Each structure stands twice: as structure tokens, then as C-alpha cells.
């Protein structure tokens, strides 16, 4: 049920992944950034982890310097190409990929309708490619930064409905929602949720604190998860903080079942 993910460990090799099961995890979300990014050169390392552990693997598609909403066509094409390449590399051992919506560039802010359509078309292409690989795609709600798409529930609903692909769902990033003050509003999209990112903050910036160290209303979040069957991914700054999050979430889930 619980997976580990960390964008802070992108400068380290994969060896720490072997510790995850001992820390209470049954899965690992590979963040395709830095040295953690899948390449043809390090793919044997990732496959070895898959073959020698019981970890369920999901992937987070790359996002640095990429933009699915770019109205600069070569940049948009390169964004889609890199994401498709990651899907190809992971398709032997992963069945779900997380994707960030695009954002408004300076030009895109003057052409918001065109940027929105680029974002939709990009996610459609990614979903179609993933479908051919028997994979699902989960679009993530985003942190409180004005230029980024997907900060509000109605935006996520609009993306999913307009993309109109059976293999597209919603990944609820609880910490991101807290920076926008709309955690409880996003809970109404429960039927669309196929994945969850769990981390905490104080409502102002994306701190990625352990669960319970910020202002996220975790009791309400956990109480709303009755019937949810996807994975809960702790996005953590370290293995130790991830383990702390798992322990607290397990206690909350146990208390809810009593």
C-alpha cells in the first residue's frame, strides 16, 4: 500500500532502494530526475531491484525544464518525446506513471487558450503511448504557483474530462493542495483518484515535511479514503522522514477503522 518517493535523492544511486522494505514500504516511485532518471545505462540497476525485491514500481515522469503547455512547438515536442522515452524504459516493470500538467510561459500567458490546448494534446499523446504499453497515467494537482496548471479541483476535472482517455486518472498530492488551501475540496474527486502523494507543510510553500509536521488535516484526509485502493506514496526528504510518515499514516488508518 505504501510507496517511497524522493526528489531530494536524485543525486544518489539506487542502492538505498534496497532498504525500503525494511522501513515498511512495499513500493518505490522512481522520480525521473537527476541520477535517479531511468536511462539505457542505468536500466540494469533498476531491473535488478525489481528482480531481487518485492517492491511495486511506479514512475514519476520528468518535469525539469519541460512544459506540456508550451506554445513553443519544438519545446513541446521535446517534452512529449522525453516523457514517452521514460514510459518505454519503465514499461517492463511499471504499470503507472505520474505526470505534471504544464505551465504558462511568458508567451503562454498571452495565449492561455492555446497553452491549455497544448497541455491537453500532450497528455493525450502520453496516455495513448502509455496505453500501448499497458500503463496508466495519473495527472497531479500542483503547488501554489500562479503560472502552473492544475492547482484547483475544477482544473484537474477539466483536464481529465477533456483528455478523455480511459487510462488517465488523478493523483492527489495532499501537500500541494495544502499550499492552495483546498485539501478538502480535492477530496470530492475521490472517484478519480488512482494514486496519492503524502507529505506535509504549513500551507505557504512546498516543504515536503513528514506527515503530521505541518497543517494538513490528516484525520479528514484519511477518513475520506474508505474504499480507496491505490497506493499512498510518501514524498520525503530522507528515508528516515519517510518511515516517520508511514508510521503516522498507519496509525491514522488503524484509528479510522476502529
pLDDT of residue 164: 98
Residues shown for the chain: 258
Cell of 132: 500501448
Q: How far is CA 166 from CA 19, 98, 134, 135, 241, in A?
A: 35, 15, 12, 11, 35
pLDDT tens digits for range 64-115: 999 999 999 999 999 999 999 999 999 999 999 999 999 999 999 999 999 9
Residue 11 pLDDT: 59
Q: Give pLDDT, residue 255.
A: 85
Find where cell 513500493 sits.
Answer: 27
Greatest distance between any 2 Cα atoms in the chain = 55
DSSP state letters, 110-168: H-HHHHHHHHHHHHHHHHHHHHHTT-EEEEEP--S-TTBS--SHHHHHHHHHHH--TTE
User: In percent, how much of the chain has pLDDT > 90?
Assistant: 91
Local structure of 36: helix, strand or coil = helix
Q: Please check the confidence at residue 205 and state whether its pLDDT lies above 70.
A: yes
Q: Rounded to 5 degrees, what are φ and ψ at 117?
A: -65, -35
Cα–Cα distance for residue pair 182/174, rounded to 1 Å? 9
Parallel, antiparallel or unpaired: strands 193-198 and 136-140: unpaired
pLDDT at 210 over 90: yes
Q: Over the range 94-111, which residues count as b (16 or more CB within 10 Å of their CB) and which as e?
A: bebbbbbbbbbbeebeee
Give the model's confidence band at 10: pLDDT under 50 very low, under 70 low, under 90 confident, else very high: low
Model confidence over 134-170: pLDDT tens digits? 999 999 999 999 999 999 999 999 999 999 999 999 9
The answer to pTM > 0.75 is yes
Q: Is the pLDDT of residue 180 over 90?
A: yes
pLDDT tens per residue across span 18-50: 999 999 999 999 999 988 899 999 999 999 999
- Are 189 and 150 contacting, i.e. CB atoms less than 8 angstroms apart? no
CA 229-231-236 angle, to 5 degrees, is: 155
8 Å CB contact between 57 and 94: yes
- For position 12, what pLDDT does the model report? 63
Amino acid at each position: 500500500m505504501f510507496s517511497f518517493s524522493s526528489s531530494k535523492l536524485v543525486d544518489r544511486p539506487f542502492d538505498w532502494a534496497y532498504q525500503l522494505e525494511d522501513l515498511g514500504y512495499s513500493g518505490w516511485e522512481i522520480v525521473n530526475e537527476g541520477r535517479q532518471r531511468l536511462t539505457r545505462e542505468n536500466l540494469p540497476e533498476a531491473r535488478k531491484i525489481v528482480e531481487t525485491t518485492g517492491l511495486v514500481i511506479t514512475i514519476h515522469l520528468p518535469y525539469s525544464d519541460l512544459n506540456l503547455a508550451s506554445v513553443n512547438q519544438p519545446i513541446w515536442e521535446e517534452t512529449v518525446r522525453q516523457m514517452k522515452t521514460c514510459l518505454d524504459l519503465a514499461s517492463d516493470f511499471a504499470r503507472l506513471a505520474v505526470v505534471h500538467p504544464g505551465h504558462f510561459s511568458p508567451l503562454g500567458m498571452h495565449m492561455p487558450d492555446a497553452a491549455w490546448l497544448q497541455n491537453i494534446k500532450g497528455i493525450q499523446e502520453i496516455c495513448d503511448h502509455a496505453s500501448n504499453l499497458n500503463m496508466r497515467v495519473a495527472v497531479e494537482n500542483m503547488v501554489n504557483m500562479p503560472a502552473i496548471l492544475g492547482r484547483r479541483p475544477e482544473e484537474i476535472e477539466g483536464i481529465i474530462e477533456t483528455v478523455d482517455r480511459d487510462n488517465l486518472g488523478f493523483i492527489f498530492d495532499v501537500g500541494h493542495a495544502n499550499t492552495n488551501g483546498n485539501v478538502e475540496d480535492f477530496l470530492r474527486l475521490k472517484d478519480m483518484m488512482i494514486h496519492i502523494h503524502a507529505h506535509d507543510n504549513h500551507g505557504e510553500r512546498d516543504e515536503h515535511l513528514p506527515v503530521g509536521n505541518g497543517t494538513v488535516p490528516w484525520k479528514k484526509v484519511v477518513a475520506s479514503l474508505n474504499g480507496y485502493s491505490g497506493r499512498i506514496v510518501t514524498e520525503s526528504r530522507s528515508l528516515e522522514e519517510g518511515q516517520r510518515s508511514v508510521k503516522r499514516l498507519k496509525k491514522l488508518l488503524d484509528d479510522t477503522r476502529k
